[in-house]
Chains A and B, each alone.
Chain A
Amino acid sequence: MDQTQKLINAGEDAVDEMLSGIMAAHGSHLWRPENAPRAVIARDGPRKGKVGLIIGGGSGHEPTFLGFVGKGLADAAAIGNVFASPPPQPVVDAAMAVDGGEGVLFMYGNYAGDVMNFDMAAEMLELEDIEARTVLTTDDIASAPREARATRRGVAGNVFIFKAAGAAADKGLSLDEVERVARHANDRTYTMGVALSACSLPHTRRPNFQLAAGEMEIGMGIHGEPGVRRGPLQSADAVADEIMDAILAEMAAGAGDEVAVLVNSLGSTPLMELYILYARVAERLGEAGLNIHTSLVGPYCTSMEMAGASITVMHLDSELKQMLDHPCDCAMFQVR
């Protein structure tokens, strides 16, 4: 099979060369400690007396994770290889760099590898007298049934969940409170996606799954993990309806409630298609009597060049609304 076309130099250098570019472009927002090239730290944000928020995971999902490092959001990101959890060391390096004496909170998507590495990092930080707690994101409603919510994957809803926790930390709340807000945000965030074509790893440049022409896969994960159902490609409205049916059924919001919405590109699906989806999503929310408080449309959590999109709805309350509205200034995401 032909290799996919990518603008890279060598596959094994892709992550580090991307990081070099990000530092060159966003040095006013981000820095890296000497000898810790995979720990990306916010220039403004970390400070004494503030809980440190550390996010992280595999590369290939940009702007997730490092794009959300900045004042008012995450203090640091630990960067792994493509689609692979970072090892414990960059997590430890990040925590040491941002610790303000109030402990740190790790937030990342629920994947077995990430859990093992971040847990090892937490054990290592214990020796440094830094308390590290963890809140896993589990917003992908296609990845497990509702009664097994804790086993679900974390996907694009991360943006809203990290944002809420980052605001709580920036407001100076205690570690207990930041953790509570993070869990609350995760509990009220629902995502489901659809994939139209595969992505390929820079090392292999081969599609990571096969999807026949004219087919789509509902519920596919952001690493190409097979989803819940494969079928013929349908219209944007039909796809939006299938996803919104699932989200609305689980969210059980009352008329008049407010929501935040993210229509996210998995990589190569363009804004045109995202806005077509958004139109139907807004219609469905309107029909359900829900008011949209925050809208994001674009590539927020990608899977390299995968084609497809995901829809995230966060069921707001007054606290979460306040957290989403809190200003943040990150390299790739701002709220003013």
Chain B
Amino acid sequence: MDFTAKDLQALLDELARVMAAERDTLCALDGEIGDADHGIAMEQGMAAAASAARDLAADLEDCSLQDLFNAAAKGFLNAVGASSGPLYATAFMRAGKQVGPATSIAADDLRFVIVAMADGITHRGKAETGQKTMIDAWRPAADIAAAGGTSADVLAAAEAGAASTRDMVATLGRAARLGDRSLGHPDPGAVSATLIVKAICMRF
């Protein structure tokens, strides 16, 4: 099965819908250990990513996946700034580089999109696992994806990673200033990361 430009547009549209639906939940999680705006950033960012991709080409037939990913990156970045802007813009650009100028890829190659996105986020944010950030969901998912795991295993790894942030003390990002008080709350960035991984995993 192939993953086409049309499928990528559908994926971005779905991510915009999912983030809108989960906005208040993500904001509430962020309110526990941060400044309660993560849901807003993700909603605005994914909406802008989806619409920037749509504006790129009315006719998706001739559109390369890389161009769409790059448009999504720019749209996300300019709409939100914040922390998630540079992180997901870099993730989308790396995803674009991974798929290259092709108009479609084999659906199973989406596993390498997950790996590329995780690498982009690591490059921009300099986070390592265990610091209570989105990378605690992205890294284990990417590791399983790279090792050839099924999409169900990849998603399970992301979900387990996000759940594990509940027992972590934040050492990077705004929550790091809380010290032990960040314990007992999952990281909202890891929770939203899982939603993204899930949407991708449903497609391979």
Contacts and interface: CB of A to CB of B under 8 A. Distances in A.
B175 to A, nearest CB: 8
A81 B36 contact: no
B37 A82 contact: yes
A87 B73 CA distance: 12
B173 A224 contact: no
B114 interface: no
Interface in B1-53: 24, 27, 31, 33-37, 39-41, 44
Contacts of B150: none
Contacts of A151: 176-177
Contacts of A208: 31, 35-36
B86 A84 contact: no
Contacts of B177: 143-144, 151, 153, 221, 225
A44 B68 CA distance: 42
A86 interface: yes
Interface stretch (A109-117, A173-181, A315-323): A109-117
B82 A80 contact: yes
Contacts, number: 102
Nearest to A120: B86
A203 interface: yes
Interface residues of A, number: 33
Interface string A142-179: 01100000010100000000000000000000000000
Contact of B37 (A12, A117, A201): A201
Contacts of B36: 201, 204, 206, 208-209, 224
Contacts of A143: 177
B130 to A, nearest CB: 17
B80 A111 contact: no
Contacts of A209: 31, 36
Contacts of B40: 81-82, 84, 201, 203-204
A181 B125 CA distance: 29
B178 A84 contact: no
Contact of B81 (A80, A221, A226): A80
A259 B124 CA distance: 39
Interface string A209-221: 1000000000001
Nearest to B24: A204
Contacts of A83: 35, 37
A84 B35 CA distance: 9
B77 interface: yes
Interface in B45-81: 77-81
16 contacts: A82-B40, A84-B37, A84-B40, A84-B80, A84-B81, A85-B81, A112-B125, A113-B82, A117-B82, A203-B40, A204-B27, A206-B27, A221-B174, A221-B177, A223-B37, A226-B181
